[in-house]
């Protein structure tokens, strides 16, 4: 009996999603601005990007300095 309950819920959900999809197909091209994807957003923030650049450049500079000083002593 519980299997029938899950199947009925699943079928209703599928029909509701299908109806919503069909409604969107008929309105193709007239999508409101709120639901349209915006391409200007960055995937990460500028502070995180700055921190990443600081860590990468700082570690490479530190490695160069360490390599230069250790070769001079050897």
pLDDT tens digits for range 5-49: 555 567 888 888 888 888 767 666 666 666 556 666 678 888 999
pLDDT, position 62: 94
pLDDT at 70: 87
Q: pLDDT-based confidence at 51, cuts 50/70/90?
A: very high
The 3-state DSSP composition of the chain as helix, strand, coil percent (nearest 5) reads 70, 0, 30
Rounded-to-integer distance, Cα 23 and Cα 26, Å: 5
The answer, yes or no, to whether residue 1 has pLDDT greater than 80, is no
Q: What's the pTM value of the predicted model, to 2 decimals?
A: 0.40
Domain ranges of the chain: 1-27
């Amino acid at each position: 009996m519980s299997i029938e309950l899950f199947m009925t819920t699943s079928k209703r959900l599928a029909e509701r999603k299908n109806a919503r999809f069909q409604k969107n197909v008929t309105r193709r091209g007239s999508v409101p601005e709120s639901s349209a994807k915006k391409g200007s957003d960055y995937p990460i923030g500028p502070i995180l990007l700055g921190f990443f650049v600081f860590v990468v450049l700082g570690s490479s500079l530190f490695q160069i300095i360490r390599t230069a000083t250790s070769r001079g002593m050897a």
